[in-house]
Structure 1
Amino acid sequence: MSLSTLGDAARYALFRRDSGQLKTDLARLTSELSTGQRSDLGRATGGDFSALSDITRRLRLSDSFATGLAQAALTAEARQSALGRVAAEIEGLGPSLLAVSSSGADGELQLRLADAPDRFAAAISSLNTRVAGQGLFSGDRPDQPALRSAEDILDALRPIAAAAPDSASLIADLDAWFHDAGAGYDGFAVTAGAGPTPKVLVDEGQAIDIGVDVRDTAIRTALAGLALAALTAEGAGPAEPAARRALTEAAADRLQSGEAGLIALRAGLGTAEGQLEAARVQNEAMRSAMQIEQGRITSADPYTTATELEELSQRLESLYVVTARLSRLSLSEYL
Structure 2
Amino acid sequence: MITDRVSPSGVAINRQNNLTRLQNELATLTAEMSSGRKSDPTRELGVGASLLYKLYGDVQQGEAIKNSTSLAGKRIEAMQTALTQVGDLMDQMSPEILKTDSLKGNGYTIIASNAREMLGSMIDLLNTSWDGQNIFGGTDSSQPPLANSSTLLDWAQTQLDDAVTAAGDALDETEAAALITTFDTMFANETRDTSNSFYGLVYQSTSRTSMGSSADPESDTDTLIRIGAGETLSYNVRADNQTFKDAFKSLAILSTLDASSSELSEDAKTALIDEAGELMRGARSQLTVLAGVLGGKQERLEKVATIQDKAVTAATAQINDLEGADYYTISDKVSTLQIQLNATYAITAKLAELSLVNYL
TM-score category of the 2 structures, normalised to the smaller one: 0.7 to 0.9
Aligned twin of 1:58: 58
- Cα distance in 2 for partners of 1:138, 1:330 equals 92
- Cα distance in 2 for partners of 1:48, 1:41 equals 10
Aligned twin of 2:181: 172
- Cα distance in 2 for partners of 1:162, 1:212 equals 34
User: Is the 2:111–2:257 contact (alpha carbons within 8 Å) kept by the matching residues of 1?
Assistant: no
Over residues 116-159 of structure 1, what are the superposed CA-to-partner deviations in whole Å (9 max), with x where a residue is unaligned?
10110110111111223221111221123211111011122222
Shift of the 211–51 alpha-carbon distance from structure 1 to 2, 3 Å rule, reads: same
- Cα distance in 1 for partners of 2:282, 2:6 equals 105
- Cα distance in 1 for partners of 2:243, 2:290 equals 7
- Cα distance in 1 for partners of 2:152, 2:111 equals 22
Q: Secondary structure at the match of 2:223?
A: coil
Aligned twin of 2:325: 300
Aligned twin of 1:23: 23
Counterpart mapping for 1:192-211 below 5 A: 192-193=205-206, 194=218, 195-211=220-236
Over residues 269-303 of structure 1, what are the superposed CA-to-partner deviations in whole Å (9 max), with x where a residue is unaligned?
11111111111112212212221222233222233
Aligned twin of 2:199: 186
- Cα distance in 2 for partners of 1:112, 1:241 equals 15
Q: Secondary structure at the match of 1:137?
A: coil
Aligned twin of 1:103: 102
- Cα distance in 1 for partners of 2:325, 2:283 equals 63
- Cα distance in 2 for partners of 1:208, 1:237 equals 55
Shift of 1:10: 5.9
Shift of the 138–332 alpha-carbon distance from structure 1 to 2, 3 Å rule, reads: closer
- Cα distance in 2 for partners of 1:205, 1:214 equals 29
Q: Does 1:150 align with 2:146?
A: no
Over residues 91-133 of structure 1, what are the superposed CA-to-partner deviations in whole Å (9 max), with x where a residue is unaligned?
142223223x233323234334432101101101111112232
- Cα distance in 1 for partners of 2:74, 2:111 equals 36
Shift of 1:261: 0.9
- Cα distance in 2 for partners of 1:25, 1:235 equals 98
Match of 1:254 among 270, 273, 279: 279
Aligned twin of 2:162: 163
Of 12-21 and 131-140, deviating more is 12-21
Percent sequence identity is 23
Shift of 1:198: 2.9
Aligned twin of 2:70: 70
What is the TM-score normalised by the length of structure 1? Answer: 0.87
Q: Does 1:34 align with 2:34?
A: yes
- Between the two proteins, the alignment pairs up a number of residues equal to 330
Shift of the 263–115 alpha-carbon distance from structure 1 to 2, 3 Å rule, reads: same
- Cα distance in 2 for partners of 1:134, 1:295 equals 39
Shift of 1:234: 5.6
Give structure 2 stretches of 5+ with no counterpart: 164-170, 207-217
Q: Does 1:130 align with 2:155?
A: no
Aligned twin of 2:94: 94
- Cα distance in 2 for partners of 1:235, 1:300 equals 88
